[in-house]
Amino acid sequence: MRQEQPLVSVIMPAYNAERHIAESIGSVISQTYNNWELLITDDRSNDATQQIINEYAINDSRIKLFINEQNGGAGVARNNSIKQANGRFIAFLDADDQWLPEKLTTQISFMLKNNYAFTFTAYQKLESETLKGTVTPPQFTTYNKLLGSNVIGCLTAVYDSKKLGKHYMPLIRKRQDMGLWLNILKQTPKAYSIPDILALYRVDSGMTQNKFKILKWQWHLYREVQKLNILKSIKYFVVYALKGYLKYKK
C-alpha cells in the first residue's frame, strides 16, 4: 500500500513549541496515509522542543529534525524543510496545529483524481482544547481573489511539486504563507478546496496572536513582494483589512 502512495513531505517550523508539538507530530503519525516524511526545522528554540522532536525521531525514521543556524522566523524554517523535501506533494502543518486522521488520504486522493496542482481544505478552530467555529473556504480561489482575502489556511495547503516544481516562501517575517500561495497562483490558475474539516487550527498560541500587528506586513507583501502599484495596494489592503475585521468579530 505504501508503495502505491506518492510521498508527501510535511513541512513544520518549530520555535519554543514544547506545549503543543507532541500533539502536532502525533496527528501526522496518526494519518491513514502512510507514505509521508515529517521535516521539522527548529528555529533555535530555547525550551524542550528539540528534545521532544528527537524522542519521536528515534522511533520513526520518517521524522527528521533540522536546526537553523540562527533564528530567522517561520518562513526561513519552512524554506529549509522544503529544501530537504523529497516528496511529490508538499504539505504544511505548524507546531501548534493538528490534522485529522483522514486529512492526507482525502486530500491527495482529491488531487490525483481531479489532476489538481494546489488545494486546501476547511478547518476548525481550537482554543484551550475546546473546539470553536469552523472555517469553510470557497470552492476555489485565484491570484486576484487571494489578494483580497487569504482563504487558504496554511495547515491545510498542499501543492504538487511534480507539476509546479518547488516553491519557497518569501523571506519576510509575517504573511510569508500568503506570499507563497500568491506565487504559486501565478503559475497555476486556481487552487481548489475540499469542504470537509480536515485540520484543527489553534487560536490561543503565540503563532496566531496579535493579528492587527501584522497589517504592516500585509502592506509590505503587496508593495515589496508582489510589486503592486500604489492604487492596487490600497485597494487590496482596504479589502483585506475589512474582511479581516469582519472575520475577527464573528
Delimit the domains of the chain by residue range: 2-208
Which pLDDT value is given to residue 208?
Answer: 47
Report whether pLDDT(249) > 70.
no
| Average pLDDT of every residue of the chain | 92
pLDDT tier, 250 (very low <50, low <70, confident <90, very high otherwise): low
Residue 14 CB partners (closer than 8 Å, separation 6+): 21, 40, 41, 42, 43, 45, 49, 53, 77, 95
pLDDT tier, 79 (very low <50, low <70, confident <90, very high otherwise): very high
How many angstroms separate the CA atoms of 110 and 116, rounded?
A: 8
- The DSSP H or E segment spanning 97 is none
Residue % of the chain over a pLDDT of 70? 93
- Of 59-63, 178-182, 241-245, the poorest mean pLDDT is in 241-245
Report whether pLDDT(162) > 60.
yes
CB atoms closer than 10 angstroms to residue 135: 18
Q: Which residues pair with 141 in a beta bridge?
A: 191
Which pLDDT value is given to residue 244?
Answer: 72
Pick the residue with more confidence: 62 or 241?
Answer: 62
Going from the C-alpha of 10 to that of each of 129, 143, 147, 215, the distances in angstroms are: 23, 24, 25, 28
Which pLDDT value is given to residue 192?
Answer: 98
Which pLDDT value is given to residue 205?
Answer: 67
Q: Which amino acid, one-letter code, is at 72? A: G
Which pLDDT value is given to residue 204?
Answer: 80
pLDDT tier, 248 (very low <50, low <70, confident <90, very high otherwise): low
pLDDT tier, 97 (very low <50, low <70, confident <90, very high otherwise): very high
Pick the residue with more confidence: 110 or 175?
Answer: 110
Residue 194 backbone dihedrals phi, psi, to 5 degrees: -110, 125
Which pLDDT value is given to residue 220?
Answer: 85
Encode pLDDT of 185-233 as tens digits.
Answer: 999 999 999 999 999 999 886 544 456 677 888 888 999 989 999 999 9
Architecture in CATH for domain 2-208: Alpha-Beta Complex (3.90)
- Of 15-29, 135-149, 183-197, 215-229, the poorest mean pLDDT is in 215-229
Report whether pLDDT(64) > 90.
yes
Report whether pLDDT(73) > 80.
yes
Which pLDDT value is given to residue 2?
Answer: 47
Pick the residue with more confidence: 112 or 243?
Answer: 112
Report whether pLDDT(246) > 80.
no
